[in-house]
Chain A
Amino acid sequence: MSETTMTNTTAPARPDGLRGIAADWASDQRAFKNVSWGKAMMWIFLLSDTFIFGTFLLSYMTARMSTRVPWPNPSEVFGLHVGGVSVPLLLIAIMTFVLISSSGTMALAVNYGYRRDRRKTVLLLLLTAALGATFVGMQAFEWTKLISEGVRPWGNPWGAAQFGSTFFMITGFHGTHVTIGVIFLIIVARKVWRGDYDTGARGFFTSRRGNYESVEVMGLYWHFVDLVWVFIFAFFYLW
């Protein structure tokens, strides 16, 4: 802990635009100036995770395009009967709305975190977690409904067997991401509540002193999970 000089005070001004990028990459110490280690690591992890989801979706598209048996019609399969009327994609619309809203509350949490407003940050983090949990709950309901109608990973009453297998695999993998996110949201909320980020207590996973940027890094993950859902929604339910 010998040296604590920060960039902003001593470093000469850096050029803008492309020249700035070139200058940053040609410089020493850090390629991305003002990006912390934790944030950089989360971004690179998300890039890797993008490839996982991308591969899942591509495999699903391959299966769907090459099948010789008809693919079940998503509008009917995912429809709900409300008051005697069949509403296509009703549950999914609500789920999507809930998850997208949780991105909003997450963004607010990040903002209040940087303002050191612990109370609001905690509330918003817990609200985000609650919305995420609601999403997972509704997904469980959807799974139950489909399973009761006879959809299984190895087959379903309406057509290509790959419908069930890709559906359970992809939504299950995404749901796992959301669940992990909810758990970590609660952990981060607890840390904010205890003031760990004000005192710089050591994190369990990082063994580094925490600060409010952890809320933002958490947010990156959460927004990513939301974004992935948009693609799953588009390719699975709207196609």
Chain B
Amino acid sequence: MVDVTPGSVDTIPPAEVPEVELYHPHSWWTTYVFSQDAKVIAIQYSCTAIAIGMVALVLSWLMRLQLGFPGTFDFITPEAYYQFITMHGMIMVIYLLTALFLGGFGNYLIPLMVGARDMVFPYVNMLSYWIYLLAVLVLVASFFAPGGPTGAGWTLYPPQAIMAGTPGGQDLGIVLMLFSLVLFIIGFTMGGLNYVVTVLQGRTRGMTLMRMPLTVWGIFTATVMALLAFPALFVACVMMLFDRLLETSFFMPAIVEMGEQLQHEGGSPILFQHLFWFFGHPEVYIVALPAFGIVSDLISTHARKNIFGYRMMVWAIVGIGALSFIVWAHHMYVSGMHPYFGFFFATTTLIIAIPTAIKVYNWILTLWRGDIHLTNPMLFALAFIVTFVNGGLTGLFLGNVVVDVPLSDTMFVVAHFHMVMGVAPILVIFGAIYHWYPKITGRMLNEGLGQFHFWATFLGAYLIFFPMHYLGLMGVPRRYNELGEMGLIADSAHQLNAFISIMAFIVGFAQLVFLFNLLWSIRHGKDAGGNPWRATTLEWQTPETPPAHGNFGKELPIVYRWAYDYSVPGAKQDFLPQNEPGDYGQAKGH
């Protein structure tokens, strides 16, 4: 391999692309509402995602009310319970996590971290947000539609998703859900193209791919995956819309319902499952990879140590991204398939543990003998590692066919994916907000409130989801609105369920402290200065805080080193910003 890495000042090549003039807003509307600035779009994305996420949080409370105290609340009918389940899952996975990581953090951090003035096509980027908002509104509209939202379960499996017995199945619920997903995908594609092209083609001088912060690597890889995985969901949604509205039979086999033969014949419900999970499994990593990236940066910064095995970390991200496209059928072990098929998918699933384990070891080795500052971002990052390991290990259980079959559709599965895909990424989101809030607003979040928020969330989440593993092993099925008199389930399960529900309320209310902190600190927080964490990456080196339109003032920064020059021997301070010239530190290797 040729060594073409620019090693020092003299080899930084000149700018290849003349700077393009930015769109300058002329009015309040174009500055704050129809803004083309990625930073404003990021905040719009984040606020919308958090707002709809609160709806999903309330839905989870309603579910827990029913599960913890069955029969007490008359308004939670079985139909309503299914609607809560469905909307909670769909909102959390797609409209909150995907939108917040890629639309929120992606928009804010990519241009700043790679040293660009904005995304490559700001207008398209703006459209992306407005179409996302439209998708959210259509989704919300389904709550008010006759018959209410769909209750098909978040996986929307046909044939039940569009049949009369399912809430919203023959009403507007499922139609609005599918329509909203199609809109989301269109909107996301517009943003996603921007993120990918900005990373590939819009970096500043000296910023090689192997000098990018891992945050950017995570978001970039996740976006590429999303651009390849969402098409499957798009097609599945379109086909199911046709099944529902035009009585086609893509997914609908011949069915007798209430003694009556339906119009449909010859469709394949399994085809939907394949399409859904071809999207659905990469989706897990679309959420996880940005979290991996962000957590790497948090740990390195707050432990004042360079990330251990940077190249391995990058390749692990890319490897996980690629592998995640060939594991989807492990969600379908009980759907009925050839044993060798299951064998193949079990193998690929377990192989993913290798790059994932590399990442975990590298995080731990980064912490090893580091100068660990237990700031709020660091606490959340550490909590993430623990939670991700826990959730990941149960993934190994479920990835094996023989272990998965008895555990399928039990609370064990619920516990697993809430640990690995719910709690873990949310912890990173919190950590990331504590970390970057000072850059976004110029003020620190309150440390004390943050500590309370952390311990309440972290311990509370474990008290909610750890007992669920136990429930699952006892055989408590998921998606049942009440257990009733089941001989196989011990009485203690009911007490455990009540306990979980109470914890869910406590943890949910603890989030109000966080929201209060967010709002209060905008005005009353401690002044942050430009670089409160003494971090190396470019977003902390902007001339103004919060960064102005165009991000970097007159001259774009020139990058001389990788993102992890912390505690470099011989340097005058314990961090070297990426745009600091000089041959010391890791500048030669990266």
> Beyond A2-B555, A5-B14, is A169–B239 a contact (Cβ under 8 Å)?
yes
**A2, A40, A48, A209 interface centre (most CB from chain B within 10 Å):** A48
Q: Does A150 count as interface, using CB distance less than 8 angstroms?
A: no
Q: Is the CB–CB distance between A154 and B248 below 8 Å? A: yes
* Mask of B1-23 contacts with A, CB within 8 angstroms, 1/0: 11011100000111111111101
Q: Does A44 count as interface, using CB distance less than 8 angstroms?
A: yes
Q: Does B462 count as interface, using CB distance less than 8 angstroms?
A: no
B12 CB contacts on chain A under 8 angstroms: 28
> Beyond A45-B193, A55-B235, is A206–B123 a contact (Cβ under 8 Å)?
yes
Q: Which residue of A is nearest B15, CB measured?
A: A3
Q: Does A7 count as interface, using CB distance less than 8 angstroms?
A: yes
Contacts of A150-200 to chain B: CB distance below 8 A:
153-154, 160-162, 164-166, 169, 173
Q: Which residue of A is nearest B22, CB measured?
A: A207
* Mask of B264-295 contacts with A, CB within 8 angstroms, 1/0: 01111001000100100000000000000000
Q: How far is the CB of A185 from chain B (nearest CB, A)?
A: 20
Q: Does A140 count as interface, using CB distance less than 8 angstroms?
A: no
> Beyond A1-B18, A11-B14, A209-B20, is A30–B203 a contact (Cβ under 8 Å)?
yes
B194 CB contacts on chain A under 8 angstroms: 41
* Mask of A1-22 contacts with B, CB within 8 angstroms, 1/0: 1111111001100010001001
A32 CB contacts on chain B under 8 angstroms: 200-201
Q: Is the CB–CB distance between A153 and B209 below 8 Å? A: no
List the one stretch of B81-89, B102-110, B226-234, B518-526 in contact with chain A. Answer: B226-234
CB-contact partner of A165 in B16, B121, B189, B249, under 8 A = B249
Q: Is the CB–CB distance between A205 and B123 below 8 Å? A: yes
* Complex-state Cα separation, A173 to B122, whole angstroms: 28
> Beyond A47-B227, A169-B242, is A154–B263 a contact (Cβ under 8 Å)?
yes
Q: Is the CB–CB distance between A29 and B207 below 8 Å? A: yes
* Complex-state Cα separation, A37 to B267, whole angstroms: 42
A169 CB contacts on chain B under 8 angstroms: 238-239, 242, 248
CB-contact partner of B205 in A29, A35, A154, under 8 A = A29
Q: How far is the CB of A52 from chain B (nearest CB, A)?
A: 4
> Beyond A31-B201, A153-B248, is A55–B232 a contact (Cβ under 8 Å)?
yes
Q: Is the CB–CB distance between B235 and A59 below 8 Å? A: yes
* Complex-state Cα separation, A32 to B120, whole angstroms: 15
Q: Which residue of B is nearest A57, CB measured?
A: B235
Q: Does A115 count as interface, using CB distance less than 8 angstroms?
A: no
**A45, A206, A207 interface centre (most CB from chain B within 10 Å):** A207
CB-contact partner of B208 in A26, A35, A173, under 8 A = A26
> Beyond A1-B19, A162-B249, is A29–B204 a contact (Cβ under 8 Å)?
yes
Q: Is the CB–CB distance between A208 and B231 below 8 Å? A: no
Q: How far is the CB of A184 from chain B (nearest CB, A)?
A: 14
Q: Does B124 count as interface, using CB distance less than 8 angstroms?
A: yes
Q: Does A67 count as interface, using CB distance less than 8 angstroms?
A: yes
Q: Is the CB–CB distance between B5 and A26 below 8 Å? A: yes
A54 CB contacts on chain B under 8 angstroms: 231
Q: Does B256 count as interface, using CB distance less than 8 angstroms?
A: no
* Complex-state Cα separation, A11 to B14, whole angstroms: 8
CB-contact partner of B239 in A2, A44, A59, A205, under 8 A = A59
* Complex-state Cα separation, A162 to B253, whole angstroms: 11
Q: Which residue of A is nearest B247, CB measured?
A: A154
> Beyond A29-B15, A37-B121, A207-B123, is A161–B4 a contact (Cβ under 8 Å)?
no
> Beyond A1-B19, A3-B18, A10-B14, is A40–B124 a contact (Cβ under 8 Å)?
no
Q: Is the CB–CB distance between A59 and B267 below 8 Å? A: no
A25 CB contacts on chain B under 8 angstroms: 209
* Complex-state Cα separation, A44 to B231, whole angstroms: 13
Q: How far is the CB of B348 from chain A (nearest CB, A)?
A: 19
B422 CB contacts on chain A under 8 angstroms: none
Q: Does A119 count as interface, using CB distance less than 8 angstroms?
A: no
Q: Is the CB–CB distance between A165 and B123 below 8 Å? A: no
Q: Does A221 count as interface, using CB distance less than 8 angstroms?
A: no
* Complex-state Cα separation, A29 to B16, whole angstroms: 7
Q: Does B202 count as interface, using CB distance less than 8 angstroms?
A: yes
* Mask of A205-228 contacts with B, CB within 8 angstroms, 1/0: 111110000000000000000000
> Beyond A11-B14, A30-B17, A40-B201, is A68–B266 a contact (Cβ under 8 Å)?
yes
Contacts of B235-257 to chain A: CB distance below 8 A:
235-236, 238-239, 242, 246-250
Q: Does A56 count as interface, using CB distance less than 8 angstroms?
A: yes
B555 CB contacts on chain A under 8 angstroms: 2
* Complex-state Cα separation, A6 to B16, whole angstroms: 5
Q: Is the CB–CB distance between A153 and B201 below 8 Å? A: no
Q: Is the CB–CB distance between B266 and A2 below 8 Å? A: no
Q: Does A63 count as interface, using CB distance less than 8 angstroms?
A: yes
Q: Is the CB–CB distance between B123 and A22 below 8 Å? A: no
* Complex-state Cα separation, A173 to B182, whole angstroms: 14
Q: Does A148 count as interface, using CB distance less than 8 angstroms?
A: no
A35 CB contacts on chain B under 8 angstroms: 201
Q: Does B36 count as interface, using CB distance less than 8 angstroms?
A: yes
Contacts of B90-123 to chain A: CB distance below 8 A:
120-123
Q: Is the CB–CB distance between A30 and B14 below 8 Å? A: no
Question: Would you mind naming 20 contact pairs between A and B with Cβ atoms under 8 Å apart?
Answer: A1-B18, A2-B554, A7-B16, A22-B4, A33-B16, A41-B120, A41-B194, A41-B197, A51-B227, A51-B231, A153-B242, A153-B248, A154-B263, A161-B265, A161-B266, A162-B250, A165-B242, A165-B249, A169-B248, A207-B36
List 15 extra interface pairs beyond A30-B201, A31-B201, A45-B193, CB under 8 A.
Answer: A1-B19, A2-B19, A3-B18, A5-B18, A28-B6, A41-B120, A47-B227, A48-B193, A51-B232, A54-B231, A55-B278, A56-B235, A154-B247, A165-B248, A206-B124
Across the A-B interface, give the 10 residue pairs with the lowest CB-CB distance, nearest first. A165-B248, A51-B231, A52-B231, A55-B235, A37-B120, A154-B247, A5-B14, A4-B18, A48-B227, A153-B246
- Using CB atoms and an 8 Å cutoff, list the residues of chain A in contact with chain B: 1-7, 10-11, 15, 19, 22-23, 25-33, 35-38, 40-41, 44-45, 47-49, 51-52, 54-56, 59, 62-63, 66-69, 153-154, 160-162, 164-166, 169, 173, 204-209
- Using CB atoms and an 8 Å cutoff, list the residues of chain B in contact with chain A: 1-2, 4-6, 12-21, 23, 36, 120-124, 189, 192-194, 196-197, 200-211, 227-228, 230-232, 234-236, 238-239, 242, 246-250, 263, 265-268, 271, 275, 278, 554-555, 559
